[in-house]
Chain A
């Protein structure tokens, strides 16, 4: 059924052969209360309504009108995109963790190295130190105290756990040596004179009795006519320092083999 079919009704208008087509349209548009005009108006209203509704529908629900295959494709794409983004997020998160723990490890290593450097500095005589300890002044009125006797005092202090030792203005370290003659003692190449003033950081309750052991270091000093009594101090300061030479021959054993 088509409108181009020949009209079947007998009341069809005569073909307006000689009239201009514009006039035909104008006549048709002229409002008349005829049945055909009312019906055409009604149908046109229906059409306009449907067109607007469909356009709105199309704008509102873009996805709902797509065929199933298209929807599956879009869903697939979205899933793939999600997977990609999740992978990327996981990789970035891992990198972030790595960086965080890396900087944390670095900070911890730096802290440990700093602490170790302080400890080594105190033990090796590179840094001044303070803390509880004893002061011991050994007088030598006869000038008979030998370097060996002073060295025995040092050994006794080391045995008792002394951590930092100063004799007069000389910081005593692991390589310290006593030479010279009685009354003219030389420590590490520096002459020291009586009274010999020891400043020692360590446990006073251990070092004091250790020096006073019968037949020990102080007893030996007294045999040479010297005198001295360790004085416990809550706070003593070892201010003399010593430059630590770089080892010329020794190098650290690699950690994994040690």
Chain B
């Protein structure tokens, strides 16, 4: 419940504050968001698997976002930023799908 509340609070905060993303962060924020989404779905799946651990969740959430951003940053430095961010999004998308499938199997037995 607190997690859902936090989500709502964050959305409202974003709408109300209307912050501008600093230019240096702009390329990495969307990747970090996708990585965080992946961590969120992973956490939900772990919860249903009965192996949820808050420490693991927090660490994986933060490290996923940071690593994804780092990969894109490295790709930008190497001149393959666009391709690498595409690769990261694809990988994270696949993981989100598989996590969502596992959650679905848990909830609906199908």
Given known pairs A1-B59, A40-B54, A67-B82, the reply for A31 and B1 (CB within 8 Å) is yes
| Residue of B with least CB distance to A34 | B54
What is the distance, in angstroms, from B96's C-beta to the closest C-beta of chain A?
12
Indicate if the CB atoms of A40 and B43 lie closer than 8 Å: yes
Query: A49 contacts B10, CB within 8 Å?
Result: yes
A1-B59, A12-B53 known; A40+B2 contact, CB < 8 A = yes
Q: State whether the Cβ of A85 lies closer than 8 Å to any Cβ in chain B.
A: no
What number of B residues sit within 8 Å (CB to CB) of A?
54
User: Which B residue's beta carbon lies closest to that of A33?
Assistant: B2
CB neighbours (8 Å) of A22 from chain B are: 107
* Interface SS of B by simple majority: helix
Chain B CB within 8 A of A112 CB: no
Bin chain A's interface residue count: 35 or more
Nearest A residue to B105, CB-CB: A21
Contact A15/B33 with A21-B106, A49-B11 known, Cβ cut-off 8 Å: no
CA distance A93 to B94 in the complex (A): 58
Query: Which B residues between 1 and 38 are near A, CB-CB below 8 angstroms?
Result: 1-11, 13-15, 18-21, 26-27, 29-30, 32-33, 36-37
Check A73 for interface membership: any CB of B closer than 8 A: no
- Distance from A45 Cβ to chain B, minimum over Cβ atoms (Å): 4
Q: Closest CB of chain A to B67's CB: distance in Å? A: 8
- List the count of A-B residue pairs having beta carbons below 8 Å apart: 161
Query: Given A21-B107, A43-B6, A54-B33, A29–B54 Cβ distance below 8 Å?
Result: no
User: Is B74 an interface position by the 8 A CB rule?
Assistant: no
Please give, as numbers and ranges, the residues of chain B lying within 8 Å of A16 by CB-CB distance: 50
Bound-complex Cα distance A30 to B4 (A):
11
Q: Which of B6, B30, B64, B107 contacts A42 (CB 8 A)?
A: B6
B64 touches A46 (CB 8 A): no
Q: Which residues of A contact B8 (CB under 8 A)?
A: 48
Judge if B70 is at the interface, Cβ distance under 8 Å: no
Cα separation A124 to B106 with both chains bound (whole Å): 115
Q: Is A53 an interface residue (CB 8 A)?
A: yes
Additional A-B contact list (15), CB under 8 Å, known A48-B9, A57-B20? A1-B64, A5-B56, A6-B51, A12-B51, A13-B50, A14-B50, A24-B48, A29-B1, A36-B52, A44-B7, A44-B40, A45-B13, A51-B33, A53-B14, A64-B26
